[in-house]
C-alpha cells in the first residue's frame, strides 16, 4: 500500500476505482471497513484507518461493509516486482479447497522457505499467510450468504471451513454476528438453477472484446459463447481427490462493476478453485490504469493502438490451453478449434450440462499419458500430425513429473526455457503459454504473425527492441496489437 494518509483519503473521497482492492479503509466510528469506492456517507479523515488488505482490516477488528461488499473487490495483479511473490502466494491461497491444506506447501511450490514467504507476505498485505487465508474464507462465505440460496451448512463447506461450528465461531469472533444474522441483514439470494457469485473488477472492462477473443478460440463441446455469456464444462479434483464435473456460465454485471459467475451445484465443493480460475480467465486482477500509463506511448506508433482497460484473457485449464496451443501451430484458429473439439470428443469426459453445445470436459494429462506409444495412431485418426501428437505426450509427461509448471506456481522466465526443451515447442508457443496459462504480464511472442501485421516492416528482433519500452506489461501490448487487426 503506497501513499500518505492524505493521498489515501483523497482517493477514498473521490471514490477512485483505480484504487479498488489496492487498499481498504477502516472507519473507527462504525467499526466497519470499506473499499475505496464505497458510496456510503464519507467518514471524516481523522476517523479513517488504512490497510493493505481486507485480511489486515479484519485482523484489526473491523467488519466488512454491507454496502460496498469488500468480498467483491478485485485482487492484486501478480506483476514483476517486490510484491509479485506475495501476490502469487495470495492467489494460490485463495484457491485452496479448505483449512486442512498446508500453507507450507505454497511456500515450497514457489521455491521459498515458509519463514521467508511469511516475511514477504506480511510486508505486502499486513497480515500473515494464515490470517489471509482465513479472511479469504470468511469473505467468500459472506458473499455466498448474501447472494445465494445455499444453506448455511452448504456455505461453510463451500467456503472451505471444516465444519459449520468452525465458521460460526470465526464469524462471531471477526464480525460479531452469526452467519444466520448476516443472511437476514443482507436478504440472501433465492434458490435457483446453479449458484451465482459476483466477482468485481477495476473499470473499464471491455467484456465484449474479451468475449469475442474467447469465442474465436472456443473448443466445440467444451466452451461456448452465446447471448453475451461464456459457458464451459468443468472437471476438477475435489478435496478428497475425486473427480467433480459440471458447468459454469459467466456474464457481465456492468452496473455493479462485476462479472456474474453461475456454476452447477455439483461444483460447489470446489468453489474456491472455480472462482480462482474464472478470475484468471477473465483477468480480473488487472490494474488497467497502471497498464495504460505504461503503454500509452504505443499511440505514437498509431493513434488508438493502445486502449484503456484492455485485458489479457487467461485460461481456466492450463493443460487444455497448452494442448490447444500446440494444435494451433501453423494452422488457422478455426482448424485448431476443430482438432481440439475432436480430441475432447474422443478422450474427454461426458458432462451433463443442459446447455446446448456443452457435453464434454477436455481430457486431462493423465488421459493423454494413458495412450503411451499409441498416441500417434489415436490422434492421427483425428487429423493430428505425428509431431504434434508426440509434443502433446511430451508436454503431458513434463507436467506430470513436475519438470515444468503452467499455473500460479510457475517461474515464467525459467518455465519458458523448460517448455522449449520439449520437442515441438518453440518460443512462440512458450511465450503464448506464459501469457495466457501462467498469467505472466510481460510475455512477448515476437515472431507472432499478428504482431507483424499490426506493425508491418519490422523483424522479430526489431519488435523485441521496440517492446522493451512496454515492460513489464508486454502481454497487454500484444493484446492491444491483436485487437487492432481487422
73 in the Ramachandran plot: left (φ > 0), alpha (ψ -120 to 50) or beta?
beta
Tallying the residues shown for the chain, one arrives at 486
Q: Is residue 101 within 8 Å of 212, Cβ to Cβ?
A: no
d(CA 59, CA 52): 12
d(CA 107, CA 117): 6
d(CA 448, CA 73): 35
- DSSP for 342-395, please give it: HHHHHHSEE---SSTTB-EEPPPHHHHHTTGGGHHHHHHTTT--HHHHHHHHHH
Q: Is residue 445 within 8 Å of 475, Cβ to Cβ?
A: no
d(CA 167, CA 182): 13
β-partners of residue 246 are: 234
Whether residue 11 has a cis bond before it, omega within 30° of 0: no
Burial class (CB in 10 A: 0-12, 13-18, 19+), 84: middle
β-partners of residue 20 are: 23
Cell match 520439449: residue?
422
d(CA 250, CA 239): 24
User: In 3D, which of 215, 440, 203 has the Cα closest to residue 318?
Assistant: 440
Active-site residue among 34, 38, 68, 286? Answer: 34
Which runs of consecutive H residues, i.e. helices, occur in 282-348?
288-295, 318-327, 333-347
Laid out side by side, the sheet with 24-27 consists of: 48-51, 24-27, 32-34, 63-64
Active-site residue among 317, 407, 442, 448? Answer: 448
**Whole-number Cα distances in Å, 440 to 77, 88, 191, 288:** 10, 11, 38, 15
Q: Catalytic site residue 34?
A: yes
Q: Is residue 483 within 8 Å of 317, Cβ to Cβ?
A: no
Active site residues: 34, 448
Amino acid at each position: 500500500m503506497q501513499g500518505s494518509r492524505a493521498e489515501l483519503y483523497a482517493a477514498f473521497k473521490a471514490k477512485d476505482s483505480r484504487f479498488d482492492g489496492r487498499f481498504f479503509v477502516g472507519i473507527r466510528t462504525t467499526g466497519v471497513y470499506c473499499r475505496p469506492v464505497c458510496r456510503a456517507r464519507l467518514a471524516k479523515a481523522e476517523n479513517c484507518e488504512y490497510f493493505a488488505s481486507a485480511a489486515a482490516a479484519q485482523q484489526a477488528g473491523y467488519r466488512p461493509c454491507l454496502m460496498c461488499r469488500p468480498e467483491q473487490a478485485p485482487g492484486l495483479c501478480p506483476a514483476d516486482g517486490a510484491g509479485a511473490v506475495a501476490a502469487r502466494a495470495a492467489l494460490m491461497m485463495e484457491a485452496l479447497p479448505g483449512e486442512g491444506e498446508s500453507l507450507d506447501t505454497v511456500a515450497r511450490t514457489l521455491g521459498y522457505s515458509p519463514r521467508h514467504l511469511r516475511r514477504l507476505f506480511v510486508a505486502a498485505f499486513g497480515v500473515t499467510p494464515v490470517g489471509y487465508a482465513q479472511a479469504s474464507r470468511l469473505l467468500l462465505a459472506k458473499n455466498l450468504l448474501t447472494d445465494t440460496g445455499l444453506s448455511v451448512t452448504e456455505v461453510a463447506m463451500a467456503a472451505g471451513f471444516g465444519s459449520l461450528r468452525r465458521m460460526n465461531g470465526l464469524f462471531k469472533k471477526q464480525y460479531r454476528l452469526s452467519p444466520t444474522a448476516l443472511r437476514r441483514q443482507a436478504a440472501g439470494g433465492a434458490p435457483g438453477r446453479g449458484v451465482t457469485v459476483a466477482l468485481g473488477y477495476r473499470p473499464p472492462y471491455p467484456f465484449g472484446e474479451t468475449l469475442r477473443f474467447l469465442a474465436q478460440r472456443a473448443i466445440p463441446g467444451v466452451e461456448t459463447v452465446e447471448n453475451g455469456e461464456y459457458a464451459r464444462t468443468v472437471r476438477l479434483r475435489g478435496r478428497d481427490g475425486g473427480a467433480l464435473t459440471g458447468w459454469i456460465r459467466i456474464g457481465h454485471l456492468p452496473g455493479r462493476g462485476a462479472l456474474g459467475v453461475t456454476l452447477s451445484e455439483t461444483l460447489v465443493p470446489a468453489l474456491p478453485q472455480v472462482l480462482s480460475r474464472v478470475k484468471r480467465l477473465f483477468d480480473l486482477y488487472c490494474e488497467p490504469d497502471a497498464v495504460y500509463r505504461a503503454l500509452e506511448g504505443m499511440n505514437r506508433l498509431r493513434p488508438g493502438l493502445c486502449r484503456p482497460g484492455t485485458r489479457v484473457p487467461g485460461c481456466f485449464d492450463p493443460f487444455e490451453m497448452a494442448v490447444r496451443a500446440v494444435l494451433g501451430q501453423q494452422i488457422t484458429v478455426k482448424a485448431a478449434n476443430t482438432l481440439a473439439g475432436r480430441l475432447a470428443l474422443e478422450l474427454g469426459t461426458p458432462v451433463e450440462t443442459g446447455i446446448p453445445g456443452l457435453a464434454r470436459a477436455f481430457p486431462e494429462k493423465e488421459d493423454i499419458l494413458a495412450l503411451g506409444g499409441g498416441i500417434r495412431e489415436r490422434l492421427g485418426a483425428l487429423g493430428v500430425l505425428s509431431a504434434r501428437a508426440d509434443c502433446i505426450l511430451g508436454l503431458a509427461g513434463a507436467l506430470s513429473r513436475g519438470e515444468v509448471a503452467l499455473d500460479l506456481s510457475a517461474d515464467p522466465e525459467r518455465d519458458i526455457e523448460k517448455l522449449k526443451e520439449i520437442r515441438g515447442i518453440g518460443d512462440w508457443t512458450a511465450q503464448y503459454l506464459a501469457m495466457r496459462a501462467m498469467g505472466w504480464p510481460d510475455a512477448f511472442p515476437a515472431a507472432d504473425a499478428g504482431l507483424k501485421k499490426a506493425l508491418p516492416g519490422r523483424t522479430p528482433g526489431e519488435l523485441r527492441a521496440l517492446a522493451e519500452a512496454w515492460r513489464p506489461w508486454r502481454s497487454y501490448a500484444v493484446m492491444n496489437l491483436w485487437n487492432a487487426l481487422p
